């Protein structure tokens, strides 16, 4: 699958030649593919987020993903890194369709930003599917995605896919019939 439904995980590395999306747009310091950036801006405006939600991370180059992975290994060890940091070439961030969000309060953890199931964060979570976004790594689906629960990580899949996935409780792997994301 390609386009907004491209599946990138440990079993489906990013295909060669797709390291830099052709249509990156910068929104609040985070680069995303233009369609995803416009949709993100629209949902944030729709919920009146103002400056309460921070865009922690959008598109990453392979080199940046390599640095993040190596730093996490050094700082937090292999068990933590395997749960929360994708291998270079296996990160959705390299597609320009994924964004990590955090509640803007004090210092924000780059790897695991706080994005609670309440307040403005929950307002975003509820509105996001109407704008093409899904919470990519939900609790209870770790055995399918191969990634720990990440309430801060959202993926642009576009409409109507986001509505169908959310209403059906499906991960991208399930929606595409790909089974487990684990290697």
**Residues annotated catalytic, as ranges:** 150
pLDDT tens for each residue of 21-35: 778 888 777 899 999
In sequence order, the 6+-apart residues with CB closer than 8 A to the CB of 2 are: none
Q: Note down pLDDT in tens along the chain; length 183 residues.
A: 468 999 999 899 988 766 677 788 887 778 999 999 999 999 999 999 999 999 999 999 889 999 999 999 999 999 999 888 999 999 999 999 999 999 999 899 999 999 999 999 999 999 999 999 999 999 999 999 989 999 999 999 999 999 999 999 999 999 999 865 443
Q: Which residues pair with 24 in a beta bridge?
A: 33
Angle of helix 34-46 relative to helix 119-127, nearest 10 degrees, comes to 130
pLDDT tens for each residue of 62-85: 899 999 999 999 999 999 998 889
Closest CA to 136 of 99, 108, 85, 110: 99
- CA end-to-end distance (rounded Å), the chain: 19
Domain 3-175 listed as CATH 3.30.1380.10 = yes
- Rounded to 5°, the CA angle 151-28-166 comes to 30
| Domain boundary assignment for the chain | 3-175
């Amino acid at each position: 699958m390609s386009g907004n439904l491209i599946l990138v995980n440990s079993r489906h590395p990013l295909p060669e030649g797709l390291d830099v999306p052709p249509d990156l747009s910068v929104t609040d310091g985070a680069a995303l593919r233009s369609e995803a950036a416009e949709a993100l801006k629209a949902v944030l405006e729709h919920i009146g987020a103002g400056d309460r939600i921070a865009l922690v991370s959008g598109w990453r180059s392979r080199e940046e993903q390599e640095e993040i992975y190596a730093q996490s290994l050094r700082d937090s060890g292999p068990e933590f890194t395997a749960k929360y940091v994708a291998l270079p070439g296996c990160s959705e961030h390299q597609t320009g369709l994924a964004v990590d969000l955090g509640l803007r309060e004090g210092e924000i953890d780059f790897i695991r930003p706080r994005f609670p199931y309440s307040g403005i964060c929950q307002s975003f979570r509820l509105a996001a599917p109407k704008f093409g976004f899904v919470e990519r790594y939900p609790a209870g689906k770790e055995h399918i995605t191969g990634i720990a629960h990440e309430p801060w990580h959202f993926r642009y899949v576009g409409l109507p896919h986001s509505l169908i996935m959310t209403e059906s409780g499906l991960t991208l792997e399930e929606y595409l019939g790909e089974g487990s994301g684990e290697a």
